[in-house]
């Protein structure tokens, strides 16, 4: 009955390869996110989708491409992997609460267990 799940948990690959990380949530939420946590433990948002629509797209290399086939899934595809891509990637989900047509602050996010990506 895992709320937010990610696969794989560990990913070791060579520079230049293309890889994907999958995320699924069974909470019925309409918004999903990808975060990156680097070796210094800084956690930064990368993307967010609401009902399959991209709503947050931070300054991320275009080698990173999120895909949301439905509300419950948000996958992250990374092309031409580089050493600097090594990090832990977290998926999260929340239910957007709108107040007067704008998102409310009260949007607790549920995080997955993370995917540790190591690029050699």
Partner 1 sequence: LAKTTQPISMDSYEGQEVNITCSHNNIATNDYITWYQQFPSQGPRFIIQGYKTKVTNEVASLFIPADRKSSTLSLPRVSLSDTAVYYCLVVGGNTDKLIFGTGTRLQVFP
The contact set with partner 1 (CB under 8 A) reads 4, 31, 33, 41-45, 48, 50, 55-56, 90, 92, 94, 96, 99, 102-114
Residue placing its CB nearer to partner 1 in the complex, 10 or 80? 10
d(CA 59, CA 70): 24
- In angstroms, give the least distance from the CB of 102 to partner 1: 5
What residues have CB less than 8 Å from 44, skipping those under 6 apart? 35, 36, 37, 38, 58
d(CA 32, CA 91): 7
Looking at the Cβ atoms of 64 and 90, the one nearer to partner 1 is 90
> CB of 42: closest distance to partner 1 in angstroms?
7
């Amino acid at each position: 009955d895992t709320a937010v799940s990610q696969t794989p948990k560990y990913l070791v690959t060579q520079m230049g390869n293309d890889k994907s990380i999958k995320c699924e949530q069974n909470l019925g939420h309409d918004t999903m996110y990808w975060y990156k946590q680097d070796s210094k433990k800084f956690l930064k948002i990368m993307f967010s989708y609401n009902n399959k629509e991209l709503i947050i797209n931070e300054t991320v290399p275009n080698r990173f491409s999120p895909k949301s086939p439905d509300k419950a899934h948000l996958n992250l595809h990374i092309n031409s992997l580089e050493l600097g891509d090594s990090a832990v990637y977290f998926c999260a989900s929340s239910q957007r609460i709108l107040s007067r047509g704008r998102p409310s602050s009260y949007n607790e996010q549920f995080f997955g267990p993370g995917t540790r990506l190591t690029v050699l």
